[in-house]
Amino acid sequence: MEIVQFFFSHLSGQKGRRRWAVAFFLGILASGAMAPVYAVFLLIPSLVGLIWLTYDNICLREAFFVGWWFGFGHFVIGLYWVANAFFVQPQHFGWMAPFAVFALAGILALFPAVTVVASRSLGYYSSGVGRVLVFAAIWVLFEWVRSWVFTGFPWNLIGSVWTFSDSIIQFAAFSGVYGLSLLSITVAAMPAILVNNISWRTDCSPLLPISVITLTFFLVWAGGSVRLLGANNEIVSDVVLRLVQPNIDQKLKWVSSYKELNFKEQIRMGAIKSRSGLPVPTHIIWAETAATFFIEKEPILRQAIAHSTPKGGLTITGALRKKQGEDDTYKVWNSMHGIDDVGNIVGTYDKSHLVPFGEYAPLRKIFSFSKFTVGTTDFSAGPGPRTLRLKGLPPVSPLICYEVIFSNQVVNDQDRPEWLLNLTNDGWYGVSSGPYQHFDSARLRAVEEGLPLVRVANTGISGVIDGYGRVASRLELGTKGILDSVLPRPLPKTLYAKFGYWIVISLIISQLIVGILMKCNKKVRKI
């Protein structure tokens, strides 16, 4: 207890810029819990420290800045890999890299800042336990808000730190990733109540709530383990998928002299005889924009694809799609095509959730911004999640690139699919933490929906994930190869898939009310 009191006194005694610097360091510390490090234990000192920095002895304005600096440190390190995209064309955009990372981190830091202010205000008269409950509830509330504001960017939610444990992430089938975040923050922040301070006193020993929340976490792990013991390992009959990961350098992907070579190489990889002991593949899957041509306007190129397409099967590829207007204008979509063994396009999906500045320039007409990628034309958005029925395959929900990071937004509830297909090109970000974090998000969508997910990435990580979020097989980041795999069967519709955000909001409101009602008892003697 003495060492706890020492650190509390030291942190709470910081003022001005020194307080901000400590908050910045704590935010950096929290980022270590994310993929690929998974140092989850770092959440404890970082969140406890943040709470101690921002309660009792500072005004709301100062609390806002402390929260902002914490968020800035957290997102600068957690999202450093964004800078790599600007060095694909360094002569044009390289100078923007640090500004882009800092700007993105600065915007996202607003959410922890508002969280700190709101939780301090609502939990000011609560006991220590109550304050922690309020803090965790409001943090998750703003994680959810982050999935919508500024078109949404729910990257590196706290709940995603548990993807190294198949057992723990089973909780997402009931509460989604936000329920995992709520549990994780509550557990990690609860040691803050160990401080010997009158405003934090409770009617019981601080060890009791810590023990209760720790036991709750253990029960979540045990429940997940039991769920996996009874796992359904059935597969779809007569379906063998081939995932093609060509590992094409993003700097060369759109260079005219390489486009044909890259195209032919992917055809060659798709035609390789099976070496995995599985039957001949029935369907071949390429990554996002694997075909660097407007394939719907190129019958000769579609015929080339058809030659390597299994008889009676399909090749599924990402490609750009263009439609000419009557006034000589045209629209472009980031799309997915299913091409049969005679070269016909038998199914198309257009990406709906576009990347700001990467695929379109927000408020272009007002500020004359341009996007930071090849071409000047903004992409058009598709209609949203839809279910495709492709020959020889169960109904599928296509997801292109970061569409897979949006919890409860990956399927059409009126026409539910039986699996998810994520085509992506993470080659923009090189060998960095970004692709690992992206892959973890995909795994959580599989658990939430109870649906298997197949992921094909240009440079990795490609893989097949079952409805429990278990990785059946994968191709590592930065490698070239093919992966032949069966397709797992879907699980019964999960609780989260049935009720979605209602569960999240119910958990947040319930915990918030309990936390506010847990008033501090100033008559309790010192711990």
Between residues 198 and 13, the one the model is more confident about: 13
Confidence of residue 363 (pLDDT cuts 50, 70, 90): low
Give the pair of three-digit tokens for residue 343: 């070269």
Confidence of residue 417 (pLDDT cuts 50, 70, 90): very high
| Residue numbers annotated as active site | 288, 351, 401
| Mean local confidence (pLDDT), 199-213 | 76
Residue carrying structure tokens 């429940």: 223
pLDDT at 8: 62
Residue range 459-483, pLDDT digits in tens? 999 999 999 999 999 999 999 999 9
Q: Could you tell me which residues come within 8 angstroms of residue 278 by beta carbon, excluding any fewer than 6 positions away?
A: 240, 484, 485, 486
Q: Are 80 and 98 spatial neighbours (Cβ–Cβ below 8 Å)?
A: no
| Mean local confidence (pLDDT), 136-140 | 97
pLDDT at 200: 63
| Mean local confidence (pLDDT), 472-499 | 96
pLDDT at 5: 62
| Mean local confidence (pLDDT), 336-365 | 85
pLDDT at 525: 37
| Mean local confidence (pLDDT), 404-429 | 95
User: What are the residues facing 318 on neighbouring strands?
Assistant: 336
Between residues 396 and 97, the one the model is more confident about: 396
Closest C-alpha among 81, 115, 114 to residue 100: 81
Give the pair of three-digit tokens for residue 398: 């296509």
pLDDT at 123: 84
% of the chain beyond a pLDDT of 90:
70
Write down how long the chain is: 527
Chain centroid offset of residue 517 CA: 34
State whether residue 67 is helix, strand or coil: helix
Give 152's DSSP letter. Answer: -
Residue range 155-170, pLDDT digits in tens? 999 999 999 999 999 9
**For residue 92, pLDDT beyond 80:** no
Listed range (114-118, 173-177, 271-275, 493-497) with the worst mean pLDDT: 271-275
10 Å Cβ neighbour count for 121?
Answer: 12
Backbone angles phi, psi at 57, to 5 degrees: -110, 15
Q: What is the pTM of this model?
A: 0.93
Amino acid in position 469: G
pLDDT at 198: 56
Domain map of the chain by residue range?
A: 2-230+500-517, 239-490
**For residue 382, pLDDT beyond 60:** yes
Listed range (40-49, 273-282, 379-388) with the worst mean pLDDT: 273-282
pLDDT at 195: 80
10 Å Cβ neighbour count for 330?
Answer: 11
**For residue 51, pLDDT beyond 50:** yes
pLDDT at 393: 97
**For residue 307, pLDDT beyond 60:** yes
**For residue 352, pLDDT beyond 80:** yes
10 Å Cβ neighbour count for 48?
Answer: 24
pLDDT at 467: 97
pLDDT at 242: 96
**For residue 87, pLDDT beyond 60:** yes
Q: Could you tell me which residues come within 8 angstroms of residue 418 by beta carbon, excluding any fewer than 6 positions away?
A: 394, 395, 396, 451, 489, 490
pLDDT at 203: 61
Query: Which CATH architecture fits 239-490?
Result: 4-Layer Sandwich (3.60)
10 Å Cβ neighbour count for 38?
Answer: 17
pLDDT at 167: 97
| Mean local confidence (pLDDT), 15-31 | 91
Q: Could you tell me which residues come within 8 angstroms of residue 413 by beta carbon, excluding any fewer than 6 positions away?
A: none
